[in-house]
Amino acid sequence: MSGQTKEYRFLVETTRFLVPGLLDTLSDQGPAVEAAMLKIAGRIRPALESLDGGGWTIHSHDVSFQGGLIVVTFLLSR
């Protein structure tokens, strides 16, 4: 073994989306969720490059919906 250990960090990104109405179906919510996820996706690469000198890769992620927020948590490693 080289003796090098991996580093791990969490990165959390959030964005707002329109809260669906009570009668909206998942397909009705799709465009708003897609737009919000694309917004987050556009911020990931700059965040990875600027975090503690860069060199990070995404190991895993989780997406949750909290009212009008999409919260995406990334586990990073380098």
Residue 73 has φ and ψ, to the nearest 5°, of -110, 125
Number of domains making up the chain: 1
Does 14 reside within a domain?
Answer: yes
Higher pLDDT, 53 or 19: 53
Q: Establish how many alpha carbons lie within 13 A of residue 44's alpha carbon, considering only the half-sphere containing its beta carbon.
A: 17
Range of the domain at 27: 8-77
Does 71 reside within a domain?
Answer: yes
Does 38 reside within a domain?
Answer: yes
Q: How far is residue 65's CA from residue 18's CA, in Å, rounded to a whole number?
A: 11
Mean pLDDT of 49-69: 92
Residue 32 has φ and ψ, to the nearest 5°, of -70, -40
Does 45 reside within a domain?
Answer: yes
Q: Is 50 exposed, middle or buried (0-12, 13-18, 19+ CB in 10 A)?
A: exposed
Does 2 reside within a domain?
Answer: no
pTM for the structure as a whole: 0.79
Does 37 reside within a domain?
Answer: yes
Does 3 reside within a domain?
Answer: no
Does 1 reside within a domain?
Answer: no
pLDDT at 77: 97
